[in-house]
Amino acid sequence: MTEESRDVTLFDVDSTLGDFSPGKIGLYPGVVNFLRLQAEKRRLYTASNSGDGGSKRIGEARQFFEACFGSNEVNSSKIHYIREDGMPRLMANDYIMRFDVQTEEIQALVKENERLGDLLLTDEHFMVESEAANELRRKYAELSQCLDVYVHKLTGELFDESTVYQNPNIRGSFKDLLLAKRIVSPQSYQELRTVMVGDYGDISTVFSDPETPLIVVNNTQRQGDWNPVTVMLDLLYAREEKPFQVFDEMYNNSVTITQDDNLDINGDLVKILDNKSFSSQGMNFVLAKSDRETRYVLLH
C-alpha cells in the first residue's frame, strides 16, 4: 500500500483487536492474518485512549500499522495547534507559559509579580480605592498579562491563538478522528476515504467525524471470524465515492427492521434512526444512522 493511498482504516485497540487485561489472551484469534490482508489494501492506524496508541500491547500486529495514535495525538481534551504545513502538534510539546521560562530575566519578573500581588493583599491596599493602590493594581495586571502567555520553548515567540485546532463536531474528551485524519495527511485530509473498526464504546467516537462509518465488532470476531469485517470493508471502499457515501446508498436501499431508538452512551443520549437489514455474500449486516449523521455497521 503506497503512502499516496487515500484509503485509511482506523482501529480501536481494546475489545476490538484484543483483550489486554492481566491474564487475558491478548490479541484475538485471527487478528494477525486479518490485519495482514487489510494492510495489503489500505493504510492502517490505531486510534486508542492509551498513551502509546496500543503499540506495545498489540505485539506482532504492530508491523501492519503505519502509526499508532494515542491520547497525546488524538484526545480532543488536549490542546493542539496547526503548524504552517498543516500538521497538528500537541501545544505542550512546543510551548510553555512565560512565567515557567527559567531565565534570570523572566524569573526576576515573576518575583516582582509575586511581590506586587502580596502588596495588594496588605491592609494598606486591599479593597482600598486610592491613587497608590490603583497604580499598584495597574502594574500588577500589566505584569501578569505579560507573564500569563504561551511562548515557544526554543524561540520565545508568542503563541498565535488563531492556530488552535478545534473540531466543530464535538466538545469534551473524545478520540478525535478528524484530528487523526489531519495527522495522516495534513494537506489533503479532506480527501481521505476513512472507515473505523471498533467496539460498542466507539459509537460516540465517530461523533468527531461523521464521514467515517464505524464497523462494530462483536464476540464472533473476538472468537476468530473476521470475514464479515473484511467483506464490509471491501464494500465500503469498492467505489470512487467515499465510504460514507457508499454506506448511505446501501442504507437507503435496505429494508427497515426496527424503528428509532435511543442509546445512552456514557450519559450522552444518542438517537438511532431506523435500523436496516443489508445482505452481501451470504452475510447479514445491520446498518444504522444517528441523528448526528453518524453511520454504523453492526455485524451478526
Tell me which H or E stretch contains 297.
strand 295-299
For 180, the grid coordinates are: 487523526
Q: What is the mean pLDDT of residues 19-28?
A: 87
Residues 104 and 130 reside in one and the same domain = yes
Residues 208 and 169 reside in one and the same domain = yes
State how far the Cα of 298 lies from the Cα of 278, in Å rounded to an integer: 10
Q: Is the pLDDT assigned to residue 91 strictly greater than 70?
A: yes
For 286, the grid coordinates are: 445491520
Does a structural domain hold residue 260? yes
Fill in the amino acid letter for 132. A
Q: Is the pLDDT assigned to residue 278 strictly greater than 60?
A: yes
Residues 144 and 199 reside in one and the same domain = no
Last residue of a domain, one of 138, 161, 184: 161
Mean residue pLDDT across the chain: 91
Residues 143 and 284 reside in one and the same domain = no
Task: Tell me the pTM.
Answer: 0.88
Domain that holds residue 50: 7-79+165-299
Residues 104 and 29 reside in one and the same domain = no
Does a structural domain hold residue 246? yes
Residues 64 and 108 reside in one and the same domain = no
Residues 72 and 105 reside in one and the same domain = no
Last residue of a domain, one of 113, 144, 161: 161
Higher-confidence position of 261 and 231: 231
Q: What is the mean pLDDT of residues 16-38?
A: 93
SS3 for 182? helix
Query: Predicted confidence band at 170 (pLDDT cuts at 50, 70, 90)?
Result: confident
Residues 173 and 51 reside in one and the same domain = yes
Does a structural domain hold residue 211? yes
**How big is the chain, counted in residues?**
300
- Contact by Cβ (8 Å): 179, 70: no
Expressed in percent and rounded to 5, the helix, strand and coil fractions of the chain are 35, 25, 40
Query: Predicted confidence band at 1 (pLDDT cuts at 50, 70, 90)?
Result: very low
pLDDT, residue 165, reads: 96
Does a structural domain hold residue 194? yes
pLDDT, residue 279, reads: 95
State how far the Cα of 155 lies from the Cα of 298, in Å rounded to an integer: 51
Query: Predicted confidence band at 273 (pLDDT cuts at 50, 70, 90)?
Result: confident
Q: What is the mean pLDDT of residues 157-162?
A: 96
State how far the Cα of 70 lies from the Cα of 15, in Å rounded to an integer: 16
pLDDT tens, position by position, 192-205: 999 999 999 899 89
pLDDT, residue 122, reads: 85
Buried b (16+ CB within 10 A) or exposed e, 156-166: eeebeeeeebe
Q: Is the pLDDT assigned to residue 289 strictly greater than 90?
A: yes
Does a structural domain hold residue 2? no
Find all residues with CB under 8 Å of 211, minimum gap 6, and list them.
194, 242, 244
Does a structural domain hold residue 247? yes
Residues 282 and 223 reside in one and the same domain = yes
Distance (Å) of CA 9 to CA 12, 40, 70, 123, 150: 10, 12, 15, 64, 35
pLDDT, residue 266, reads: 62
State how far the Cα of 62 lies from the Cα of 236, in Å rounded to an integer: 24
Q: What is the CATH number of the domain that holds 53?
A: 3.40.50.1000
Range of lowest pLDDT (44-53, 152-161, 210-219): 44-53
Q: What is the mean pLDDT of residues 45-57?
A: 86
Residues 125 and 228 reside in one and the same domain = no
pLDDT, residue 162, reads: 97
* Residue % of the chain over a pLDDT of 70: 97
Residues 232 and 193 reside in one and the same domain = yes
Query: Predicted confidence band at 244 (pLDDT cuts at 50, 70, 90)?
Result: very high
pLDDT, residue 216, reads: 96
- Contact by Cβ (8 Å): 47, 11: yes
pLDDT, residue 264, reads: 67
Domain count, the chain: 2
Does a structural domain hold residue 292? yes
State how far the Cα of 167 lies from the Cα of 184, in Å rounded to an integer: 16
pLDDT tens, position by position, 127-151: 778 888 888 888 989 998 899 999 9
State how far the Cα of 176 lies from the Cα of 204, in Å rounded to an integer: 10
Residues 172 and 204 reside in one and the same domain = yes
Does a structural domain hold residue 268? yes
Last residue of a domain, one of 105, 126, 161: 161
For 284, the grid coordinates are: 447479514
